[in-house]
Structure 1
């Protein structure tokens, strides 16, 4: 057996070993928190982010495209080898390549799915809530949104507008985490700036507004987005950058970072993020209460929501459905048993905060 073949077989063997380790670690979240998320991985994330940070473009975007092309090429030559011969060699190469990507993903970030929940870090007691409590939360968020909306800019169409666009939002984004880390040290650290995705318009057809790539430590954002949701989207990806993997937690952390941010348009964006998820949950539970509260939206808030819906309706289609299914499978494979529905659990965290500190929503 050649040295090259032996190396490839070892790399392939690392995948089942890593899967086994991952399944074991799920039982010991405290250990993952202490020895991985807040130690080894935190160092890895900050080193990678520091290296890629100075680049004005997303290194991850170029890397992902390159790795995808390589993977596609390897799949094609492996299929062709079934006719021309040498299938075993090509298959080993393909398996070694995919195994290396998976193992690196887990080392650089993936084990964060096994850490303790942010509700425990924040001292929140998540429990089943009554529809009355959910309605009260929604009402508080509406009044908060209406108030903040009067303090942000708008364009000639009367829609919320960020002066300076995404570049201004990217530059200001770290201020939210600077303040939030004073309460939660886990969210502190030195990281590279958020990166705009060059192919943002095409990415919109997938329905994806941002993505964190562990290989580069970059928070990548689809800048073909409304100014309403752009600030909270940036902070969502930055939550992943800080080692919080579950989507519901990243959304909730983004909300917290928005509310601690000194700029009103970040606070408004975070409030609207929380409001949309909470109202969706209320609609599922009590449509009548939902319809009653919708009437409390200010005209300006209504314009922003209408514009957001119209914007994303342009990109609905089969591509988005397929990507949604792929994302659903990915989330479930990493222990989020509700798949994409896990995004809705953000509401449970908001309700827990509302019960603990209702003044936070005033």
Structure 2
């Protein structure tokens, strides 16, 4: 590549940023022409190409990228002192190419209209509405836990392998798509991450590779959350970039499933979000609600908490702060705190579709 072409590519990052910021101001345009236009074609092409491969191609690409980055700095550190512009130009060329590919292949979905607008539901709720919904969610979760275990004191243990869950998750989306065609999920491309141990130390349960459209699940531990996490990552694949919206769509897919373990996963996972929000607003009401939850469900929560506590490390807050900055840079103004938005979606959605 000529020096002139490298300079043009390096400087192209500036107009790219401007274009993305301008498109962010017209979310309906993004939804019509990108999220519901070219993106489904790109995503399906990626999944048809890579979905059949039993391991994560994206994980391997990330590992290779790490090696190349280290090699680049080792080989070019002298260039930084002698010709700094050429050193930084090489970096900007890569950044410009990744920035373009990221937004073309997935990232523009961050700028689509919020899902509560698309569904025509509210996005605010009172404490009374939250408590009322949480009580109903506790009843539904308790019922499923007792149905599965036959004893309200036993934690739910999944009888499936990871691959079973990946294959089964598709039917949840198939049932969901009968009422919401835009939530159709085909073809599947959901895999166990090759870097599950590093993901655990970073505090992540999974991720979507935006360059390959492969959904990776942290496979280090198989617990009650696994079906919901799988559906969450698949929600990213069909175009819901925001974490809160992927949580909500994943919940809808899991609870639409005909399998009780999937439904339990969805209800129990979201019950924790609701309980956390009640605790933040009214600690006395939280204590009353917690007392109504079956001991087996609390055991499920304790098992998960114990697992993650064993991998706590000084670097985890750094990774969380990095992800927080990433969310803010991609139209999630409140960063990680936007996860609580899923509670508003749950409360308002179930006003129209009671539990």
Partner of residue 163, structure 1 = 159
Q: How far off its partner does 1:71 sit? A: 2.5
Superposed, 1:162-311 pairs within 5 Å as: 162-311=158-307
Q: 2:88 aligns with which of 84, 88, 91?
A: 91
Q: Which moved more, 1:64-73 or 1:167-176?
A: 64-73
Q: How far off its partner does 1:76 sit? A: 4.0
Aligned mates of 1:4, 1:150 — CA distance in 2: 68
Aligned mates of 1:311, 1:245 — CA distance in 2: 27
Aligned mates of 1:93, 1:202 — CA distance in 2: 29
Partner of residue 98, structure 2 = 101
Aligned mates of 1:6, 1:263 — CA distance in 2: 59
Uncovered stretches (5+) of structure 2, i.e. residues with no partner: none
Q: Which moved more, 1:344-353 or 1:72-81?
A: 72-81
Aligned mates of 2:102, 2:114 — CA distance in 1: 20
| SS in structure 1 at match of 2:167 | helix
Confirm or deny: 8 A CA contact 1:226 1:308 kept in the other structure.
Answer: no
Any idea what the Cα deviations from partners look like across 1:138-175, whole Å, max 9, x if unmatched? 11111111111123369xx9432222321211111111
Q: How far off its partner does 1:24 sit? A: 0.9
Partner of residue 57, structure 1 = 55
Q: Count residues with an aligned counterpart.
A: 354
Confirm or deny: 8 A CA contact 1:177 1:188 kept in the other structure.
Answer: yes
Confirm or deny: 8 A CA contact 1:153 1:162 kept in the other structure.
Answer: no
Q: How far off its partner does 1:285 sit? A: 0.2
Confirm or deny: 8 A CA contact 1:52 1:192 kept in the other structure.
Answer: no
Q: Which moved more, 1:8-17 or 1:110-119?
A: 8-17
Aligned mates of 1:10, 1:185 — CA distance in 2: 42
Aligned mates of 1:103, 1:88 — CA distance in 2: 22
Confirm or deny: 8 A CA contact 2:13 2:95 kept in the other structure.
Answer: no
Aligned mates of 1:286, 1:254 — CA distance in 2: 28
Confirm or deny: 8 A CA contact 2:162 2:222 kept in the other structure.
Answer: no
| SS in structure 2 at match of 1:318 | coil
Any idea what the Cα deviations from partners look like across 1:316-342, whole Å, max 9, x if unmatched? 222221110010000000010110011
Partner of residue 46, structure 2 = 48
Uncovered stretches (5+) of structure 1, i.e. residues with no partner: none
Q: How far off its partner does 1:299 sit? A: 1.8
| SS in structure 2 at match of 1:195 | strand
| SS in structure 2 at match of 1:211 | strand
Q: 1:147 aligns with which of 128, 132, 143?
A: 143
> What is the TM-score when the length of structure 1 is the normalising length?
0.93
Confirm or deny: 8 A CA contact 2:55 2:192 kept in the other structure.
Answer: yes
Aligned mates of 2:122, 2:160 — CA distance in 1: 39
Any idea what the Cα deviations from partners look like across 1:228-272, whole Å, max 9, x if unmatched? 111111111101100111111000001101111111111111101
- Runs of 4+ residues over 6 Å off in structure 1: none
